[in-house]
Amino acid sequence: MVKPTDLNNLDREDLIKLVTELVNRINALEQQLADAQARIHELQEKNAVLERAGQRQATPFARREKVAEPKKAGRHKGKGAFKRREAPAPEDIQVTKKAELGSCSKCGGALVDVKEHEQFEVDLPEVKPIITRYVMLSGYCPECGKEHWFTHPEQISKAVGAAGVVIGPRAKALAADLKHRLGASYAKVTEVVMDAFHLKVTRSAWCQADQRLAEEGRPIYTGLIEALRACSVVHSDETGWRIGPLSAWLWVFTQERLTVYTIESGRSHEVVLKILGKEFKGVLVSDCFLAYDHQALEEWLKQKCLSHLLKDLKALKEAKAKGAIRFAQQVSALLQDALALKARKETTSGEGYAQQAAALEARLDALIAPKRRFSDGDNARFARRLRKQRPHVLRFLYVDDLDATNNLAERQLRPAVITRKTNGCNRAQRGAEAHAILASLLATCRQQAVPILEYLVAMQCFGKTPVDLTTGLAPPE
């Protein structure tokens, strides 16, 4: 830079050159300032959108950017048949009401060519509580001096006196379903039961009823865990939880017909061993969380969720440019090719399928080879991650009933997330155990298309459920 004192020593040509350089520099600085102001304006708009989204509006998590090719609304082709609601059978119609024929609303004249038109209305009847009086008998044995009680087979409690008015099994079953599967709070359960059935029950009474119901279902819960350990494929995931003021974790272990929840104070591999046991021989499907990679699980067969990997690759592609984006594009294309190959496995010959699978394995090995050098640090870290999980990335290609993603566990975890958002978690350990047991039973009933209310009523009244949830078959006589 020329100092002001040196300007007197410059000739005309040098002055013109200096002025030209200064003008060019001023123009460049003005362009940088304009770009910076535009960027600031863009960030201010994004910040305003985020602030509005955080104010609990109707759609706080709505997508802010339009999708280039959005999915069409309505039923997708091949995803279920469309049919109208069938008219009820004549024997199912309880009441028939006929309209009265009137006259013309304009001139008052009589109508001719009168025709009848049918409409069927299906509604819920008004329901009122059924109060049943049970008379129990008791007596003393004169020989041994022992008191004996005799109850009716349908009774669920022996309480008498001040505790002699109890909640019936069907009401308890409905409340448990509303609370532990559908995510309603005890206050809302109280309102629903009062408005729909005119049954007044306090929130604390529902809580105590759930705890007793959970104790009755504990043997079934233990059976679900044992059945889960014998499954060939198990999906697992976890989410944050609280027990009173303490942090905890809600875990889910699931397959197509069974689901087990557990609420633990930790997020370590010990929870996996507690539920699945040390001798688990199936395939564990999960994300890349470190607990699933502990040395105690080193010999286990696993499948890492490709949805998580593809999501991270998408973020990597959006953040990179030029040559740095190529690695994410190549890995993403490979995983998509693997998913497409598994989708057409039934229509591909065994030899052809094996050759294509081997080609995908070779491509993956070449992309993440230890000798390959990456100029971008994020690409290098993702390559190390894939090398660590290498045996568990494409395993789904060789196991028919193995899914490439962990979507099943995430779907089964969603009700717990809704419960956490709508009415909190648990205040005590006993409540956490009750929630884990009842949520497991209810979710498994839904997976096996077992009527939930009938199942829980039978469990309370007779101690013998109509269906064995561990196998999905009726228990032997």
Q: What is the pLDDT of residues 168-191, one digit of tens each?
A: 999 999 999 999 999 999 999 999
What average pLDDT does this structure show over 75-84?
A: 70
pLDDT of residue 47: 85
Q: 338 lies in which domain range?
A: 306-397
Task: Return the closest-CA partner of residue 379 out of 431, 327, 454, 336.
Answer: 327
Residue 39 lies in a domain: no
Residue 240 and residue 314 in one domain: no
Task: Return the closest-CA partner of residue 300 out of 322, 288, 285.
Answer: 285
What single letter denotes the amino acid at residue 423? N
Residue 87 lies in a domain: no
Indicate the residue among 373, 397, 421 that finishes a domain.
397
Contacts of 380 (CB under 8 A, 6+ apart): 374
From residue 454, give the alpha-carbon distance in Å to each of 46, 47, 110, 461. 52, 52, 55, 10
Supply the CATH number for residue 287's domain: 3.30.420.10
Residue 81 lies in a domain: no
Confidence of residue 472 (pLDDT cuts 50, 70, 90): low
Indicate the residue among 347, 364, 397 that finishes a domain.
397
Residue 315 and residue 289 in one domain: no
- What kind and span of H or E run contains 453? helix 452-461
Confidence of residue 145 (pLDDT cuts 50, 70, 90): confident
Residue 298 and residue 417 in one domain: yes
pLDDT of residue 476: 46
The single residue listed with the structure tokens 């040196």 is 6
Task: Return the closest-CA partner of residue 433 out of 292, 248, 168.
Answer: 248
Q: Find out whether 224 and 260 touch, Cβ atoms under 8 Å.
A: yes
Rounded to 10 deg, the angle between the 169-180 and 429-447 helix axes is: 90
Distance of alpha carbon 247 from alpha carbon 158, whole angstroms: 38
Backbone angles phi, psi at 432, to 5 degrees: -65, -40
Residue 377 lies in a domain: yes
Inform me whether the pLDDT recorded for 141 exceeds 60. Answer: yes
pLDDT of residue 208: 93
Confidence of residue 12 (pLDDT cuts 50, 70, 90): confident
pLDDT of residue 465: 73
Residue 331 and residue 376 in one domain: yes
Inform me whether the pLDDT recorded for 50 exceeds 80. Answer: no
Residue 286 lies in a domain: yes
Inform me whether the pLDDT recorded for 477 exceeds 50. Answer: no
- Tokens for 449? 């298309």
Confidence of residue 366 (pLDDT cuts 50, 70, 90): very high
Beginning with the edge strand found earlier in the chain, give each strand of the sheet holding 259-264 in spatial order: 259-264, 246-254, 233-243, 283-286, 301-304
- What kind and span of H or E run contains 303? strand 301-304
Inform me whether the pLDDT recorded for 467 exceeds 50. Answer: yes
Residue 380 and residue 365 in one domain: yes
Residue 225 and residue 361 in one domain: no
Residue 13 lies in a domain: no
Residue 257 and residue 328 in one domain: no
Distance of alpha carbon 260 from alpha carbon 269, whole angstroms: 16
- Tokens for 176? 């448990």
Count of structural domains, the chain: 2
Rounded to 10 deg, the angle between the 186-197 and 169-180 helix axes is: 130
Task: Return the closest-CA partner of residue 410 out of 254, 280, 266.
Answer: 254
pLDDT of residue 156: 85
What is the pTM for the complete model shown? 0.79
Percentage of the residues of the chain whose pLDDT score is greater than 90: 65
Q: Find out whether 139 and 125 touch, Cβ atoms under 8 Å.
A: no
Residue 421 and residue 455 in one domain: yes
Residue 312 and residue 393 in one domain: yes
What average pLDDT does this structure show over 109-115?
A: 91
Task: Return the closest-CA partner of residue 474 out of 453, 448, 456.
Answer: 448
Q: Find out whether 277 and 234 touch, Cβ atoms under 8 Å.
A: no
Higher pLDDT, 52 or 361: 361
Average pLDDT, the chain: 89
pLDDT of residue 65: 65
Query: Tens digit of pLDDT for each residue in 390-425?
Result: 999 999 999 999 999 999 999 999 999 888 888 888
Residue 413 and residue 293 in one domain: yes
Across the strands, what pairs with 149?
Answer: 138
Q: By mean pLDDT, which of 307-316, 341-350, 415-424, 467-476 is the weakest?
A: 467-476
What average pLDDT does this structure show over 16-38?
A: 89
Higher pLDDT, 62 or 51: 51
Distance of alpha carbon 85 from alpha carbon 91, whole angstroms: 17
What average pLDDT does this structure show over 380-389?
A: 94
Residue 315 lies in a domain: yes
Distance of alpha carbon 435 from alpha carbon 426, whole angstroms: 8
pLDDT of residue 340: 95
Residue 321 and residue 292 in one domain: no
What average pLDDT does this structure show over 151-177?
A: 90
pLDDT of residue 56: 55
Residue 420 and residue 456 in one domain: yes
Residue 59 lies in a domain: no
Indicate the residue among 341, 363, 397 that finishes a domain.
397
What average pLDDT does this structure show over 134-162?
A: 89
